[in-house]
Amino acid sequence: MVGVSVLGISGSVGSSTVKVLRQFRDQFSLRSFSVHSNWEIAKSLVLEFSPEVICITDPKLVGQFGDSFGSTKILYGDENLSELVKLPNVAVVVTAVVGARGVLPTIAAIEAGKKIAIANKETLVTFGPLINQLVAKHKTLMVPVDSEHNALFQLIERETRSNIRAITLTASGGSFRTLPIEALEHVSVKQALNHPTWSMGPKITVDSAGLINKGLEVIEAHFLFGFSFDEIEVVIHPQSLTHGIIETLDGACLQYTSHPDMVYPIAHSLFYPNPTPQMLIERKPSTWKTLEFFPPDTKRYPGLDLAFQAGRAGGVAPCIYNAANEEAVALFLEEKISFTTIPRLIESALNQITNVFPETLEGYLEKDKETRNYIQKEFKKGGVTT
């Protein structure tokens, strides 16, 4: 039995992880998990899996549900997420909370010698150099859960690294791929949340609509696999069937294709380095009639170029890109700014905030905070936001 901890179990990745755990009950045991505020899901999962400890992170709920439920201990607050991952009988930690707040429990899990199934891309984008140092120091096994990175991880593993010329991440193009560009200024939150192929949480769905999710993933791929930004490409692939492509020196392109369902990469990351046993979901290549690929339109998706710029600049530029985006997307979801203001705010933050190359977590956290304050100030001023 492999003990599993899931941070953010009530979200989209969390729910897909539960599906995998249900399918392989004889191999995995859910030992701990967190939700932010979703007590109903927490309660039903405690009844189903009897974990040792759970954590409710919403500060408004501290103490609300007592300190135990049956034999399960209840902790409260972000600061206790690290306790969940350090449990001695947890071997794998699935990081599925949304946003850069995933960093402290991720570091705790690395230091405690756990295998990390990393879905929480914002942590890697923001703190990439630091996380990589820790991963190297503790010889951590970190397996990407993001479908594109999981696909690339599997492809790269099967090829000689020096024989790979470039890697390609596919993008569905999001909710507005075919909308006239002039109409983007006026799209609603509801329209942005209507993703054509994937069912995901609200933040990543908005990120996908502007290809900022792909921007984050380009930076994530750089930190995970060590390819330079000139060796990473993005293609629009509306069918979301091919997730990653590697190009070898002889010009061959090897692609990983599967139905757009997060259970594949999650199961792979849980079982790795062992092979994933047969899954109960259908694979029907005969139904994949079309696989289209074309380059992204930079006018439609300005946030993608900004990610490449931030990635190439290095230092805290990716941290600024991520924090500005998190704040801007939250404002968009609250219907306070337009959709097209999101990349404008990110660009402004990248231009106005000084880039530095910190050696400590505190250095990154300071820039993260400075960026969030900057975006809130810009919003209140009404500058780029109008």
Ligand X SMILES: NC(=O)c1ccc[n+]([C@@H]2O[C@H](COP(=O)([O-])OP(=O)(O)OC[C@H]3O[C@@H](n4cnc5c(N)ncnc54)[C@H](OP(=O)(O)O)[C@@H]3O)[C@@H](O)[C@H]2O)c1
The binder of ligand X chosen from 45, 90, 119, 328 (CB under 6 A): 119
Q: Which is nearer to ligand X, 38 or 257 (CB)?
A: 38
Q: Which is nearer to ligand X, 33 or 385 (CB)?
A: 33
Contact (Cβ atoms closer than 8 angstroms) between residue 87 and residue 32: yes
* Beta partners for residue 72, in sequence order: 69
Residue 82 CA, chain-centre distance (Å), reads 19
First to last CA, the chain: 55
The binder of ligand X chosen from 84, 93, 98, 236 (CB under 6 A): 98
The binder of ligand X chosen from 4, 20, 36, 364 (CB under 6 A): 36
Q: Which is nearer to ligand X, 101 or 114 (CB)?
A: 101
Which regions of 232-350 does DSSP assign to beta strands (E)? 232-236, 242-248, 253-257
Minimum Å distance from CB 364 to ligand X?
Answer: 17
Q: Which is nearer to ligand X, 29 or 147 (CB)?
A: 147
Binding-site residues, please?
11-13, 38, 120-122, 146-148, 172, 195, 201, 208, 213-214, 217
Q: Does 96 bind ligand X (CB under 6 A)?
A: yes
Q: Does 200 bind ligand X (CB under 6 A)?
A: yes
The binder of ligand X chosen from 52, 122, 220, 347 (CB under 6 A): 122
Decide: residue 55, CB within 10 A, 0-12 exposed, 13-18 middle, 19+ buried: buried
Q: CB under 8 Å to 101, separation ≥6 — which residues?
A: 78
The binder of ligand X chosen from 57, 240, 242, 348 (CB under 6 A): 57
Q: Does 74 bind ligand X (CB under 6 A)?
A: no
Decide: residue 358, CB within 10 A, 0-12 exposed, 13-18 middle, 19+ buried: middle
Q: Nearest Cα to 232, choosing from 131, 163, 312, 313?
A: 312
From CA 322, how far away is CA 121, in angstroms rounded?
10
Q: Does 150 bind ligand X (CB under 6 A)?
A: no
Amino acid at 112: A
From CA 136, how far away is CA 370, in angstroms rounded?
29
- Using the contact rule CB under 6 A, the part of the chain among 201-209, 266-274, 322-330, 354-362 near ligand X is 201-209
**Interface residues toward ligand X, by CB under 6 A:** 8-14, 35-38, 57, 78, 96-98, 101, 119-122, 146, 198, 200-204, 262
